[in-house]
Amino acid sequence: MAEEKGNLFMQLVFMFQTAAMQQMGKVINPLTKKIEKDLSQAKFSVDMLGMIEERTKGNLSDEEKKILDHILFELRMNYVDEVEKEQKVATEEKVKEEKKPPKPKKGRKKRAKSEREKR
């Protein structure tokens, strides 16, 4: 019975790990067959595993603790990497926008043209 509960616990951990990896865009979603990214959902999945780690302290076997610690470390590092990538892309886009010359305003040309036509 204890072994069965241990297996169920590890399945729960692997379920959150897989969900987080999909939500970070690291793994294809098997339902849509697409790479999808939702970092807020990924953070939620990682935070859920962190909460599970806290709530199960002292109740896990050495092997379960080792696996959970490793999975949390990997997920947290991947999450930080993905957040930094998004911030870099956002910064690059902002710089590109700032470097673009301003678009001429259409209203001014029309006014200038109509002023010339009046003369």
- For 65, the token pair is 């603790």
Cα–Cα distance between 42 and 47 in angstroms, integer? 8
Contact 36, 25 (CB under 8 A): yes
Report CA-CA distances (Å) from 57 to 47, 60, 62, 85.
15, 7, 11, 33
What's the mean pLDDT in 19-46?
A: 95
Cβ-Cβ contacts under 8 Å for 115 (sequence gap 6 or more) = none
Average pLDDT in the chain: 88
Domain boundaries, the chain: 2-118
pTM of the model: 0.75
What's the mean pLDDT in 5-30?
A: 94
